[in-house]
Amino acid sequence: MAGRNFGCGSSREHAPWALLDHGFRAVVSAGIADIFRNNSLKNGLLPVIVDEPTSAWLLAHPGAELTVDLAGATLALPNGTRVSFPIEAFAQHCLLHGVDELDYLLSRSREIEAFERRA
């Protein structure tokens, strides 16, 4: 759990890499800087953006165990409350399947080659 505007000023890939290297798989905040969010998604770190009341509750309860459901795009709090979070469909697909953009393109190589033959 992080404070508002997390990742502001961390516009390079090194910021999500450092978090991943320390075992973090997700960052939860009421606001995450756009460039950090994009770099996180491209490198396998899930940025979870929650509403202000959820953020306030989480900051008031450090150490609370949370469950992140990437497929359902929800965060489950210890009291059973489920909060949805936004995630782009392509980023969700890549994270769920453990692929990056290049892996995804390579998985579609037959279709790409067929298109190129038609063009």
pLDDT tens track for 58-93: 999 999 999 999 999 999 999 999 999 999 999 999
In a domain, 48, yes or no: yes
Q: What is this structure's pTM?
A: 0.86
Rounded Cα gap, residues 14 and 10, in angstroms: 8
Domains held by the chain: number = 1
Mean pLDDT of 33-50: 95
In a domain, 31, yes or no: yes
Q: What is the CATH number of the domain that holds 101?
A: 3.20.19.10
In a domain, 4, yes or no: no
Rounded Cα gap, residues 84 and 87, in angstroms: 10
| Residue 10, pLDDT above cutoff 80 | no
Mean pLDDT of all residues belonging to the chain:
93
Phi and psi at residue 106, to the nearest 5°: -65, -35
Percent of residues, the chain, with pLDDT higher than 90: 88
